[in-house]
Amino acid sequence: MNSSTTWNITNGYEPVIIGLGDSLPLGKWAYYIGVPVVTTTLWGVWNYVLRLLLLRRWYEKQGINFVDNCYAVVGAEMRVTKLQEENKSHDWLYMERPTNLYGTLRGLTLQLYTTNAQLCSELVSKTGKQVDRNTPALHSVGRLSPSAIPFQSMHKLRFKERKANLTKSTRDNKRLFEIVERQANASLNDLKVKDGSSWRIDVRDLLEHWTRSTSGEFVWGKANIDRFLEVEEIDGVVRNVPFMVVLNQTFTELRFYSSRFWNRVCFPLAGMPLTKEARRLNRNINLLRGVCTEMMSHPEDGTVAALLQEINESQNMREVFTLDDLITATFAGLDAVKSTVMGCLYHLLNPDNAYWRKAILEELNSLEGQPGSMDVKLMQAPILNSFVWESLRFEPPGSLINNAAVKDFDLNYQGHTYKIKAGTRIVTSIHALHQNEDSWREIADDMSPLTKFDPGRFLKYGDKLLGSSCFMPFGKGPRRCPGQAAGALMVKSFLKVFIQKDLECRMDIPENQTKDSSRFHVYSKATFDILFNEEEPVEGVAMKPQ
Q: In what helix (H) or strand (E) does residue 105 lie, and over which residues does it extend?
A: strand 101-106
Q: Does 473 bind ligand HEM (CB under 6 A)?
A: yes
Given a contact cutoff of 8 angstroms between Cβ atoms, the answer to whether 373 and 176 are in contact is no
Q: Does 531 bind ligand HEM (CB under 6 A)?
A: no
Interface with ligand HEM (CB under 6 A), residue from 109, 140, 340, 469: 340
Q: Does 528 bind ligand HEM (CB under 6 A)?
A: no
538 secondary structure, DSSP code? P
Beta-strand runs (E) in 406-481: 409-413, 416-420, 425-429
Comparing CB distances to ligand HEM, the nearer of 170 and 183 is 170
Q: Does 401 bind ligand HEM (CB under 6 A)?
A: yes
Interface with ligand HEM (CB under 6 A), residue from 265, 307, 336, 411: 336
Find the binding residues for ligand HEM in span 162-181 (CB under 6 A): 163, 166, 170
Q: Who's near 44: CB < 8 A, 6+ residues apart? A: none
Listed ranges 106-114, 197-205, 292-300, 485-493: which one lies at the site for ligand HEM (CB under 6 A): 485-493
Burial class (CB in 10 A: 0-12, 13-18, 19+), 241: middle
x/- map, 486-525, ligand HEM, by CB under 6 A: xx---x----------------------------------
Q: Who's near 437: CB < 8 A, 6+ residues apart? A: 449, 450
**CA-CA distance, 370 to 163, in Å (whole number)?**
35
SS3 453: coil
Q: How far is the CB of 275 from ligand HEM (least distance, A)?
A: 29
x/- map, 121-160, ligand HEM, by CB under 6 A: ------------x---------------xx----------
Backbone phi, psi, residue 413, to 5°: -150, 115
Q: Does 271 bind ligand HEM (CB under 6 A)?
A: no
481 labeled part of a ligand binding site: yes
**CA-CA distance, 17 to 60, in Å (whole number)?**
59
Q: Does 483 bind ligand HEM (CB under 6 A)?
A: yes
Given a contact cutoff of 8 angstroms between Cβ atoms, the answer to whether 209 and 180 are in contact is no
Beta-strand runs (E) in 184-316: 193-195, 198-202, 228-232, 238-242
x/- map, 296-335, ligand HEM, by CB under 6 A: --------------------------------xx--xx--
The residue ranges that bind ligand HEM (CB under 6 A) are 133, 149-150, 163, 166, 170, 328-329, 332-333, 336-337, 340, 397-398, 401, 473-475, 479-483, 486-487, 491
Residues making up the annotated binding site for heme are: 481
